[in-house]
Amino acid sequence: MYFPPPPHAPMLTHQGEFYGTVSTNQHTNYALQGAYGLTNHLAVAGTFSSLHRKKSDRTENIDFAEASLGYFTRLPDKRVLEVYVGGGGGATERIERNEAQIVNKTLDGSLSKVFAQVNYAKKKQNSLHLFNRDFPLTYGAALRLSYMQLNNFKIDGLAAPGESNVFFEPITFTRTQIAGPVQLQLISGQIFGFRSNKYLKAANSVFQVGIVINLDKNTTLSE
């Protein structure tokens, strides 16, 4: 009943910097993310994630949005550290079918989340060399701890007990600068649930490929 949006990792460095990304994965899960540096250390960030897929035995519809407030700082040796706290909510639906394609169960409810996250990034010493060009590489990691709730839960239209879980999401990301402010990003990681639930559980890994745009950068990780 839950598919995790990718943890955001804007890696901001100064006031007025904007980060935006659109990404997807093999599950046709799309995510739009943005962040803005309010001051030289304070930032706001937001994510909207959508999953709508139909298989022979089920249909899944999940829409989820979250917002956060963060602190960022530039460390020595071109490192960046970010800390975010935030929350979010959304709607989830799962329709199950038998072999005759007849609906035999419908589950739906609302989702709510609060989370804390730490991001770390550092420029690699070497660049990717392709087509007689050097593409600067940035890599880093994000660690997110979330408390999730499945509320207003219904099975075939009848009220059912909700569930809650604590998720730990460690991810790594790699970015390469394509041209100007445009970068290609790869995110991979895992999600771990601390509670053994039937419906709200850590059933999906984190893997996203996307395009990142950073605007108004006076200093960058790829310098």
- What confidence score (pLDDT) does residue 124 get? 58
Place of tokens 């639930």: 197
**Adjacent-strand bridge partners of 94:** 60, 107
Residue 87 clears pLDDT 90, i.e. is over it: yes
Chain-centre distance of CA 76, in angstroms?
A: 27
Query: Could you read off the pLDDT of 27-61 as tens digits, one per residue?
Result: 778 999 999 999 999 999 999 999 999 888 999 99
- What confidence score (pLDDT) does residue 132 get? 66
Percent of the chain at pLDDT > 90 equals: 64
pLDDT band at 123 (very low <50, low <70, confident <90, very high): low
Give me 144's structure tokens.
Answer: 């997110």
- Tell me how far apart the alpha carbons of residues 159 and 203 are, in angstroms, rounded to a whole number: 23
- E strand map for the chain: 18-24, 29-37, 42-54, 58-75, 79-97, 103-123, 128-130, 133-135, 137-155, 158-159, 163-179, 182-189, 192-193, 206-215
Give the mean model confidence (pLDDT) for residues 121-136: 65
Residue of 144, 143, 140, 142 lying closest to 183 (CA atoms): 140
Q: What is the pTM of this model?
A: 0.88
- What confidence score (pLDDT) does residue 219 get? 44
- What confidence score (pLDDT) does residue 165 get? 97
- What confidence score (pLDDT) does residue 220 get? 43
pLDDT band at 105 (very low <50, low <70, confident <90, very high): very high
- Tell me how far apart the alpha carbons of residues 137 and 160 are, in angstroms, rounded to a whole number: 48
pLDDT band at 117 (very low <50, low <70, confident <90, very high): very high
Query: Could you read off the pLDDT of 42-51 as tens digits, one per residue?
Result: 999 999 999 9
- What confidence score (pLDDT) does residue 27 get? 75
Average pLDDT, the chain: 89
